[in-house]
Amino acid sequence: MWPSLSTMLTATLNGQKVRNRIVAGLHPAFFLLLKIEVKKGVKYIMKRFKLKGEKIGIVFGTFAPMHIGHVDLIQRAKRENDAVLVVVSGTNTERDRGQQIGLGLNRRFRYVREVFFDDELVQVVKLNEENMPAYPEGWTPWVAELRNLVIENTVEGFDPRNVHFYVGEPEYKGELETRWENHFDVELDITKPVDVTLVERSIISISATEIRNNPFKYWKYITKPFRRHFTKKVLIVGSASGGKTTLVKDLARVYNAPYSLEYAREYQETFNVRDEELRGHDYMRLLDGQYAQTSAIIDEGSHTGLVIADTNSSVTKAYYDYYCAETASEQEKETIELMYQVIVAREKWDLVILVEPNTEYVDDGFRDMTMSEPHIRDEFTQHLEGLLYPFHGELIRVNGNFFENYEIIKGLIDDKLGIEI
């Protein structure tokens, strides 16, 4: 008996270690899903290391989001000390200013680590304030936890008093100068006060609050990992030969935005296989490949805040249902369904456009011409709309000609997403 979907989701999405007794009975889809996670995360595997040197700089903050002013400060601290400990603080609860926009502590911690993934002089840690009282009472447990983090992330024998804080508020400077020494053994020599530098904003006069309120105005200041959180994602889907790919390319040009096309076409051209010849194992790879391709474009961050795609997992699943569902084994259907549920749960779209099939069906050498019948295209579109139920709040159908649809979608991107040409 296969593990439940919830078990699979937990094991896959949360990246938890899976016990051998569970792995032995895992559904085959799990290993394809795990491959997606490994492939996406391989760049960011962090080596375990401890900071060393006579002086360690400390920069702490919420970083919701981290911008280039933060980066400049951290790199200043790195040059003025032997290494830097970057402390991402906050909670995963609603009282956290980042969590209020979906940027909880855990996510911010991962993104900040990503910014410095190749810098061995910078160690990034998180300080969870969830069980701490509100300020000013919270200073005492906060400083105690910070002291523990310093000890845990520096080589044995490092004196935690040999740190250099960089802060942006006069209040923080006073509290640290008063409280830091109180957390060490009384027999230690504490005649020298801790170094705390009050810094002014560098490079840019911008705050994370201003970025949260208007990310597109300050897009160039947001570090790349955090950009994926603010990126607006538009999905344009429909049955084959409906003009959606041309729409995606033309819209991407006018908005100067990257786009993700149908991975299935690349796959079919590579392996010289037609629509009706695709089988279950092909669709597993198509689900994997489409998600990985679109995610890579979003995650790369070298764009202006808008990404457009013309296919997602729902489209792939709709084609599988059309061509394979009646003849596939129960295990294969369960595998495909599981993969689809996991992947579609990870997709986040801000606007979904369903293009109705009112154009001529063109034979491009790969398409199955049996789908050219109007009633089949309509039935396929209806089934696809049902599969898009996770995004019904963002879904809008368009039924014009090519020029009309182009103008309608531009208007929707402006009205719904606040992005103008």
Question: Structure pTM?
Answer: 0.81
Quote the DSSP letter at residue 166: E
Give the pLDDT confidence score for residue 41 in this predicted structure.
45
C-beta of residue 318 within 8 angstroms of C-beta of residue 206: no
Per the structure block, which two tokens stand in for 68? 């280039």
DSSP string, 88-104: EEE-SSTTSTTGGGT--
Give the pLDDT confidence score for residue 39 in this predicted structure.
44
Alpha-carbon distance of 117 to 47, in angstroms, equals 9
Per the structure block, which two tokens stand in for 199? 């810094």
Q: Nearest to residue 395, comparing CAs of 382, 380, 406, 407?
A: 382
Bridge partner list, 308 = 234, 259
Alpha-carbon distance of 148 to 160, in angstroms, equals 9
Q: Please, what sign has the CA dihedral across residues 154, 155, 157, 162?
A: negative
Count the neighbouring beta carbons within 10 Å of the beta carbon of residue 184.
14
Give the pLDDT confidence score for residue 203 in this predicted structure.
56
Alpha-carbon distance of 113 to 120, in angstroms, equals 11
Please state the separation of Cα 214 from the chain's center in Å: 19
Residue 248 contacts by C-beta under 8 Å, 6 or more apart in sequence? 236, 259, 261, 308, 309, 310
Give the pLDDT confidence score for residue 420 in this predicted structure.
86
Alpha-carbon distance of 368 to 364, in angstroms, equals 9
Per the structure block, which two tokens stand in for 288? 């994997």
Residue 385 contacts by C-beta under 8 Å, 6 or more apart in sequence? 354, 395, 397
Alpha-carbon distance of 61 to 221, in angstroms, equals 17
Cis peptide before 65 (omega within 30 of 0): yes
Q: Nearest to residue 121, comparing CAs of 72, 56, 43, 61?
A: 56
Alpha-carbon distance of 192 to 188, in angstroms, equals 11
Q: Which domains does the chain have, with CATH numbers?
A: 1-44 (no CATH), 56-213 (3.40.50.620), 231-417 (3.40.50.300)
C-beta of residue 242 within 8 angstroms of C-beta of residue 355: yes
Give the CA count within 13 Å in the CB-facing half-sphere of 135.
9
Give the pLDDT confidence score for residue 202 in this predicted structure.
60
Helix (H) or strand (E) holding 70: helix 68-80
> Which residues of the chain are under the pLDDT cut of 50?
1-26, 28, 30-31, 35-44, 186-187
Give the pLDDT confidence score for residue 364 in this predicted structure.
57
Give the pLDDT confidence score for residue 18 in this predicted structure.
35
Per the structure block, which two tokens stand in for 356? 């109705």
Give the pLDDT confidence score for residue 276 in this predicted structure.
85
Bridge partner list, 260 = 309
Residues in the chain: 421
The per-residue b/e assignment along 288-311, b for 16 or more CB within 10 angstroms, e otherwise, is bbbbebbbebbbebebebbbbbbb
Residue 78 contacts by C-beta under 8 Å, 6 or more apart in sequence? 57, 84, 119, 121, 122
